[in-house]
Amino acid sequence: MAKFRTKDMARRLGSGKKTWRFPSVKMNETRYGESRLERDYFYFLEFDGDVLAYYEQPFQILYLVEGKKHHYTPDILVIRRRVRQIVEVKPEMFINTPEVKTQIEVGLRYCQENGYEHVLATDKMIYSGCILANLKEIYRFNRMKIPFQVEYAALGALAQAPMTRDDLTKHLTGIKPGQKMDSYVYALIAQRKIQCSFQEPFEGNSIVRLP
């Protein structure tokens, strides 16, 4: 049994805790993580093209232990194109504690009964490799205005073949001499008009291509 929580309810219930603000472009409003780990997970959701929306502390799930009522609030509700997910974001060192084990068990049962998927995201996954660092670097350019001439030139060049970041930057510099084009390349990636791999550090020889 779940009881939906409005955003205002979620804010009031979390008002006594430290929260981590995140300016979401996908949701067009500020999201609030109850930990730095949750806030950092938002970056993955922002860049995941299959994610339509996501909500932190979305609703309460009522469950009974020895006849007594308890409430569990999932960390994040993720709306994907074909499925809804409850995501529990936790440091790996806490996964086997009684409290977190109960949260996972309750969440799994709720998902099974309601056709959701259950996802456990740990710090080991979120902070693995350089993906998060790349996402954070690129995300800063998500709201940057890209001149039509620059976007048209970049998409036209990449329609011919993928290029390195440096080569694309040089190509755009030829279109608008005297202007620094690195930021526009970052903005094109941040706004999903072009793409690159986030699995390796984003450098001059990194390959960029059309989606």
Contact yes or no for 124/37 (Cβ under 8 A): no
- The angle subtended at Cα 164 by Cα 160 and Cα 169, nearest 5°, is 90
Please indicate whether residue 8 or residue 55 has the higher confidence score (pLDDT).
Answer: 55
Would you state the pLDDT for residue 15? 53
Query: Is the pTM of the predicted complex or chain greater than 0.75?
Result: yes
Cβ-proximal residues to 87 (8 Å cutoff; 6+ apart), any chain = 41, 74, 75, 76, 77, 78, 119, 120, 121
What are the strands, taking DSSP E only, across 101-162?
Answer: 117-122
Q: Would the pLDDT of 107 be above 70?
A: yes
**Which two structure tokens, joined as six digits, stand for 10?**
């979620």
What are the strands, taking DSSP E only, across the chain?
Answer: 2-4, 20-24, 29-33, 51-56, 59-65, 68-72, 76-80, 84-90, 117-122, 163-164, 195-196, 207-209
DSSP symbol at 94: G
Strands 59-65 and 68-72, by their bridges, are antiparallel
Would you state the pLDDT for residue 13? 47
Domains, the chain, ordered by start = 2-126 (3.40.1350.10), 131-209 (1.10.10)
Residue type, 24: S
DSSP symbol at 181: -
Residue 185 to residue 37: CA distance in whole angstroms: 28
Mean pLDDT score of the chain = 91
Nearest to 72 by CA among 125, 16, 17, 13: 13
Would you state the pLDDT for residue 18? 77
**Which two structure tokens, joined as six digits, stand for 152?**
């048209």
Q: Which residue has the tokens 């490799």?
A: 129
Least reliable range by pLDDT among 21-25, 70-74, 207-211 = 70-74
Least reliable range by pLDDT among 18-22, 50-54, 93-97, 129-133 = 18-22
